Amino acid sequence: MHFLLPFLLFLLQLPSAFPARTFPQPSILNFNDTTTSSVVAAAFNSSSTPWGNFAKFANLEKGSHVTGICDLKTYLNRFGYLPAPAPGNFSDDFDSDLESAILTYQKNLGLPPTGKLDTETIDLIMAPRCGLGDSHLRHNTTTITHLHETRRYAYFNGRPRWTHNSPMTLTYAFSPDHMIDYISPEEIKAVFSRAFTRWSEVIPVNFTEAQNYRTADVRIGFHSGDHGDGEPFDGELGVLAHAFSPENGRLHLDSAETWAVDFGRERSNVAIDLESVATHEIGHVLGLAHSSVSDAIMYPSLRPRSRKVDLRVDDVEGIQALYGSNPNFNYGSLLESDRETSNSGAGGGYRKGFGFSTWWLWTIVLSLAQLIYF
């Protein structure tokens, strides 16, 4: 039995002996994976990106005075966490108002509520995100406790939704003048077709592509900078996209992003998965606001080179409360997939893949080695 001891000791050390980051698989990296964060950190922490210089505020707390923290206050004001200064500009003081805004941000986005700019908080603040604010989370959040988990989806004020006759069909079209040229129109259409289908699978609403952009219900386009709707885009990273609540139908993507339909083909460190963003923005078009559940499609942030396209229980409960359920929808399989992801921990499919396949691979290799040796 003496030979089993080193073998077992070796197995116990596996997670640290073979950390997940030695097996990079960018196309399935999970948004919540801290490894993903560190891999792309150098790319989007650069001061050339909209919120890249916020890194210098890490670990600050109330009472600090740091030049430039007024820009962080402007960010928190933009996304609904801090009222506009009156009169004049924001100061560079880390005051009580800033502390309470950070606390609300942390609670809304599922972070530990410390009121400080801890590393986790500043990292999420700097991450690319949707242009819509989160202010509705403070007064319009619906919380449902179900199977010991808390769901936190939300709506726009007044709970607007599309009111077409049942069975409801919404048309969508792409702007003839505002597209990108490095992904083919066919691929972009296929991405949006899949994204619309994910929502139509759970609610009794159909989506069909129309040729007439002006008369379509949902109007999709890639825009840059100030594009006339009062919500200018900000260049690479920062704000990725935005959409308007029902029954407006505008869905705009920032043309300055490096959009990707395949991370194998698009190698950029700042590539953004088009399908993940399309699925999120369609949720807004239908009437969902942001969710505080980090796995949900309606969570506001999405890191570069991450992909999140499957609706979660939180998304489904939210949208079905607005439109009812598609009669063909099977809740059981969704709950099962949600539970599997929850059980796999923060790393999602990435770490789950390491834990299972790599474990067995090394077990087999080491068993063979033992047989050969003895």
Residues carrying an active site annotation: 281
Identify whether the C-beta of residue 236 lies closer than 8 Å to the C-beta of residue 198.
Answer: no
Size of the site for Zn ion (CB under 5 A): 5
Of the two residues 228 and 332, which places its CB atom closer to Zn ion in the complex?
228
Full strand arrangement of the beta sheet holding 241-243: 205-209, 168-174, 218-223, 250-254, 241-243
- Nearest approach in angstroms of CB 138 to Zn ion is 16
- Nearest approach in angstroms of CB 280 to Zn ion is 6
Of the two residues 259 and 350, which places its CB atom closer to Zn ion in the complex?
259
Length of the chain measured in residues:
374
Measured at the alpha carbon of residue 177, what is the angle toward residues 176 and 182, in degrees to the nearest 5?
90
Q: Residue 28 has which token pair?
A: 């399935």
**Contact residue for Zn ion among 161, 219, 252, 305 (CB under 5 A):** 252
**Contact residue for Zn ion among 187, 229, 262, 340 (CB under 5 A):** 229
Of the two residues 229 and 336, which places its CB atom closer to Zn ion in the complex?
229
Chain position carrying tokens 């609403």:
205
Of the two residues 98 and 282, which places its CB atom closer to Zn ion in the complex?
282
- Nearest approach in angstroms of CB 252 to Zn ion is 3
- 3-state class (DSSP) for residue 255: coil
Q: Minimal CB distance to Zn ion: which residue?
A: 130
Q: Is 340 in the site for Zn ion (CB under 5 A)?
A: no
Ranges within 122-161 binding Zn ion (CB under 5 A): 130, 132
Q: What whole-number distance in Å separates Cα of residue 36 and Cα of residue 24? A: 9
Q: Is 302 in the site for Zn ion (CB under 5 A)?
A: no
Q: Is the dihedral of CA 318, 319, 323, 328 positive or negative?
A: negative
- Nearest approach in angstroms of CB 281 to Zn ion is 7
Measured at the alpha carbon of residue 292, what is the angle toward residues 291 and 294, in degrees to the nearest 5?
100
Sheet strands (E) in 312-356:
none
Q: Which spans of this chain sit near Zn ion (rule: CB under 5 A)? A: 130, 132, 229, 231, 252
